[in-house]
Amino acid sequence: MARRRMIYEGKAKVLFEGPEPGTLVQYFKDDATAFNNKKKGTITGKGVLNNRISEYLMNRLNEIGVPTHFIRRLNMREQLVREVEIIPIEVVIRNVAAGSIATRFGIAEGTPLPRSIVEYYYKNDELNDPMVSEEHITAFGWATIQEIDEIIALSLRINDYLSGLFLGIGIKLVDFKLEFGRLWHESGDMQIVLADEISPDNCRLWDAKTNEKLDKDRFRRDMGNVEGAYQEVARRLGILPEAGPADAPAPDTVQ
């Protein structure tokens, strides 16, 4: 097992220094949290499944020209990505009312929205990731107007593409969260790219016929069979990994 220098340990992943400058290794854990860390648990095998699911979706997005940080999957739990400067905004794209939008506006969960809605939340656990507007984002210098325009265009494109991809396998993409970052090229040019992960941890995915939840809401709401739901998403995508000894333990870390 490679010894890697740990850069950051988050709630669902660990970031390690990558093999070349400008690269990072994302290690996917089985840890699950909800309600800003108030609920904690583990979902056996989640890290392996999310690594695969995110690899698959990032590859599809790269193919249609959406720039992402993803380079390649390394093993069962790790993927190599380009290091970016994360824009501290969680971008949420909603197609159907669920979760906080349903509560805040008194809309029944499952009601289709008149059009896709993009929301922004400031990434700050101490403040509970407060919802913010474009005004806050530009006033506080988290991103420029041009960067926000690029983020919206990419988000809507990703939404259109992924909505179709999931519908093709009998899944409704209800809503999802994206993170973007700045990638600098040697020429000095900066590009906004999709970063982090796309998985049932940060998407609401409902069976198109039955509305059965196939995502982290099963954990949040104690509905049981969380692992089975994540496996079902991977199975329908045609990427269910073989279970067994190929699972990779976390690397030894060096200071």
Ligand X SMILES: Nc1ncnc2c1ncn2[C@@H]1O[C@H](COP(=O)(O)OP(=O)(O)OP(=O)(O)O)[C@@H](O)[C@H]1O
How many helices (H) and strands (E) the chain has is answered by: 6, 15
CA distance 202 to 176: 6
CA distance 174 to 215: 11
Binding positions for ligand X, rule: CB under 6 A: 8, 10-13, 15, 24, 69, 81-84, 86, 123, 125, 179, 181, 195-196
CB 76 within 8 Å of CB 51? yes
Extract long-range pairs of 11-15: CB within 8 Å, 24+ residues apart.
Answer: 11/37, 12/47, 12/50, 12/197, 12/201, 13/197, 14/250
CB 219 within 8 Å of CB 228? no
Cα three-residue angle 93-96-98, rounded to 5 degrees: 90
Look-up: residue for tokens 């999802």?
176
When the beta carbons of 24 and 198 are compared against ligand X, the nearer one is 24
Helix (H, G, I), strand (E, B) or coil at 231: helix
CA distance 251 to 27: 9
Enter the DSSP assignment of 77.
S
When the beta carbons of 55 and 83 are compared against ligand X, the nearer one is 83
CA distance 1 to 76: 13
Enter the DSSP assignment of 87.
-
